[in-house]
Amino acid sequence: MVEENSAITLVEAVNQALAYALANDPQVVLFGQDIGANGGVFRATDGLQQRFGPERVLDTPLAENMIAGIAVGMASQGLRPIAEFQFMGFIYPALDHILSHAARMRNRTRGRLSCPIVYRAPYGSGIHAPEHHSESTEAIFAHVPGLRVVVPSSPARAYGLLLAAIRDPDPVLFLEPKRIYRAAKQPVPDDGEALPLDRAFVLREGRDLTLIAWGASVKETLAAAEQLSTEGIEAEVIDPATLKPLDIHSIIDSLEKTHCCVVVHEAARFGGLGAEIAAQIQEYAFDLLEAPVQRVTGYDTVMPYYQLENVYLPGVERILAGARAALGYSREGRQ
């Protein structure tokens, strides 16, 4: 049990939200690989099996496709399954069930059955892990109708958004940025208060430039904003948090002030969510733009093994370069 007001990490906030849900909704069950006695490879489920019993917190046999598939059956009969994938890089065998069934069950049965499932997966790079342990392929899932894709970027948002995902009547892919699982602590009251899904969060207000980032990249993006501030440039930082459905209105509201923006993501550029955000901005707010939307992303390469992962990741310098490119256009336009 975490004392209220004591500062906790993002992974501890995940644990706190899972415990709250288990304690308050008897239909909630947790399952995945090594989540029981071991508490999950990142300890996100630490102590939960001891506290809530092996009938509600279950280690499964080792098959990701199976984990996704049984969740569909459980949810169809009124349970609230929360399934953990050990790493996002291992989620691909499960796509058939997530995309073809969980995301479509309500529509296919015209509302007769539904799939209130949370599929959790640690996501992103930066922890010097073996190959296949560092993926950021959120765009694959965001493309699929019927599925919500949510990424928290702080302990408080992890707690509030995970509770919202668990209570949502439809399937949610909840991607936990493992690089910042333990990067920062903040007090997160265990009050069961959910944060709204489908709403972006303005993490820093500013008038000159909009920076959009989610997950672990929020850390570098905020650092870049601080650097810009020392130069007299005030960047607004927006974390969409729910990547699908996307809260484009909050982004456009920001552009009303700033007129230029940079989208930052770890994922590869081609077909990444930066492309979707840029497309929506030019559709809805072309007149507001004084510069092309800049994308600061991973390269369109295979996610490198860890010796080169920092080369791949969009760091503060690359975000600053993107910001300066946008501001360069912007200033020309104003002259």
Partner 1 sequence: MHKPRLQLQASFDIAWLQYLDKQGRATQPLPEFASPDWLAHCYRQMQLARLVDDRAVKLQRTGRLGTYPSSLGQEAIGVAVGNALMKEDVYCPYYRETGAFLERGVLIEEILANWGGDERGQNFQHAPHDLPICIPIATQALHAAGVAFALQYRHRQQGTPLQVAVTSSGEGATSKGDFYEAMNLAGVWKLPVVFVVNNNQWAISVPRTAQTATQTIAQKAIAAGIPALQVDGNDVVAVAWAVRDAMARARNGEGPALIEAISYRLCDHTTADDASRYRSEEELEQARQWEPIRRLDAYLRSEGLWSDAKQQDLDRELAQVMEAALDNWESRPPEPATAIFDHLHAHLPEGLYEQYDQLRDEQTAGVRG
Closest approach, Cβ 150 to partner 1, in A, equals 12
Burial track 212-240 (b if 16+ CB lie within 10 A, e otherwise)? bbbbbbbbbbbebbebbeeeebbbbbbbb
Q: Which candidate in 101, 128, 132, 133 is catalytic? A: 133
Query: Counting contacts by CB under 8 A, is residue 233 touching partner 1?
Result: no
Q: Can you tell me the distance from the alpha carbon of 15 to that of 233, in angstroms, rounded to the nearest whole number?
A: 38
> Nearer to partner 1 by C-beta: 93 or 292?
93
Beta bridge partners of 7: 187
Which one of 13, 118, 246, 281 is in contact with partner 1 (CB under 8 A)?
A: 246
Query: Counting contacts by CB under 8 A, is residue 120 touching partner 1?
Result: no
> Nearer to partner 1 by C-beta: 34 or 290?
34
Which one of 192, 245, 292, 304 is in contact with partner 1 (CB under 8 A)?
A: 245
Applying the rule CB under 8 A, the residues between 173 and 192 that interact with partner 1 are: none
Applying the rule CB under 8 A, the residues between 58 and 117 that interact with partner 1 are: 60-61, 63, 65-66, 69-79, 81, 93, 96-97, 100-101, 105-114
Applying the rule CB under 8 A, the residues between 7 and 26 that interact with partner 1 are: 26
CA angle 155/156/159 to nearest 5° reads: 85
> Nearer to partner 1 by C-beta: 26 or 130?
26
Bridge-based pairing of strands 148-150 and 242-244 is antiparallel
Closest approach, Cβ 288 to partner 1, in A, equals 18
Give the phi and the psi of residue 150 in degrees, each rounded to 5.
-125, 135
Q: In the chain, which ranges are continuous DSSP H helix? A: 10-24, 48-52, 64-76, 95-97, 105-108, 138-142, 155-167, 217-230, 248-258, 273-285, 309-312, 316-334
Which one of 146, 192, 292, 304 is in contact with partner 1 (CB under 8 A)?
A: 146
Task: Return the HEC string of 7-41.
Answer: EECHHHHHHHHHHHHHHHCCCEEEEECCCCCCCCC
Catalytic site includes residue 133: yes
What is the contact surface with partner 1 in residues (CB under 8 A)?
26, 29, 55, 60-61, 63, 65-66, 69-79, 81, 93, 96-97, 100-101, 105-114, 145-146, 148, 169-170, 198, 245-249
Annotated catalytic sites, by residue? 133
